Copies of this chain bind each other. A is one copy, B any other.
Amino acid sequence: VLNNNARISEDTRKKVLDAVSRMGYHPDSHARGLAAKYTRVISVVLPPLSHVFADAYFGEVISGIYDHAQETGHKLLLDVANERFVREREYINLLHSRRADGVLFVGSTVGNTYLLDFLDTGYPCLLVNNFFEQGALNHVVADYPASARLAAEHLVALGHRKIGLIRGELVQTGDCFHQNFIAQCVRLGCALQDIPIGVGHFSEASGQAAAEILLRTRPDITAIVAGNDRMALGAIQAAWSMGRRIPEDLSIIGVDDIPQAAGSRPALTTVRHDLYTLGRVAAEGIMTLVRKECTAIHRVMPVELVVRETTGPTA
């Protein structure tokens, strides 16, 4: 009755349903899991950053994943890829022990070689905004080459020729944006040495520090591109504290549009990677992998530029 088998008479069905609600019966998830093929659980793995759940970037992705999972009757299990997780091969044990049907690896970190373990096994796993070795593994990513191009074209069109880039450290997405951004700037006529690079680790403080160095060593730059919204906010602080007005003296734009960046003062022009949708698509993808409806997912999500307060360089 409970599994909606069609061969049950309406009469017994009623009786069973009645008894169920009367006695408060609920199927035991483990007994069910033991006998069934799937567990209807997806594991979400985040990088080992301190207070990573408080990061709006990951939060947006998780919200997207959650909403899709919920709509299709799946639960989410949380994990962080810390040292123990890697050492004990938790990422594979999760699937082997059938705690989860599939794993989503959100966010990229350079050197995640353990992911190679998934190449042999047929375990369902999907990387979310996580490039790995030229796409050897299934992934869903925002279009970083496109965002780099949009950012470069926007700034160059405004007249900027000397642009600082504050990129995030040790992540492939950062590498990808970095390389593409430089290439685009050069293509659009900037000199390579006029695109100085700073490195932060995605926090406001690191963005501020990187921007201070950038503005001190290259006071001639007229714009800064920051690899995420928080580093952009840090760059704003740095610029203010060094007496540069924004956006009149210095334009700052951010990558990964998040409400925070929109609400900042000045309102940041940003490349919008719709992280919520990215999460939804990833959740959908891992489920098709689980069901073996497809075997390869290499999907690139579109990107748009949201222009708020940016101006050209001071004459």
Q: Which of A's residues lie within 8 Å of B, judged by CB?
A: 24, 26-34, 39, 41, 50-56, 58-60, 62-63, 66, 70, 75-80, 82, 93, 96-99, 203-205, 230, 233-234, 236-237, 240, 258-260, 263, 265, 276
What are the residues of chain B within 8 A of A233 when measuring CB–CB?
Answer: 263
Nearest 10 A-B pairs (CB), nearest first?
A: A54-B59, A30-B33, A53-B62, A26-B96, A30-B34, A53-B59, A76-B78, A51-B63, A204-B263, A30-B30
For the complex, what is the distance from the CA of A147 to the CA of B99, rounded to whole Å? 42
- A260 lies within 8 A of B260 (CB): yes
Q: Shortest beta-carbon distance, A264 to chain B, in Å?
A: 8
Quick one: given A98-B29, A98-B30, are A55 and B66 in contact (CB under 8 Å)? no
What are the residues of chain B within 8 A of A63 when measuring CB–CB?
Answer: 50-54
What are the residues of chain B within 8 A of A259 when measuring CB–CB?
Answer: 54, 203-204
Quick one: given A34-B31, A204-B263, A263-B204, are A258 and B97 in contact (CB under 8 Å)? no
What are the residues of chain B within 8 A of A265 when measuring CB–CB?
Answer: 236-237, 240, 265
What are the residues of chain B within 8 A of A93 when measuring CB–CB?
Answer: 26
What are the residues of chain B within 8 A of A33 when measuring CB–CB?
Answer: 29-30, 33
A97 touches which of B27, B51, B77, B82 (Cβ 8 Å): B27
Q: Shortest beta-carbon distance, A240 to chain B, in Å?
A: 7
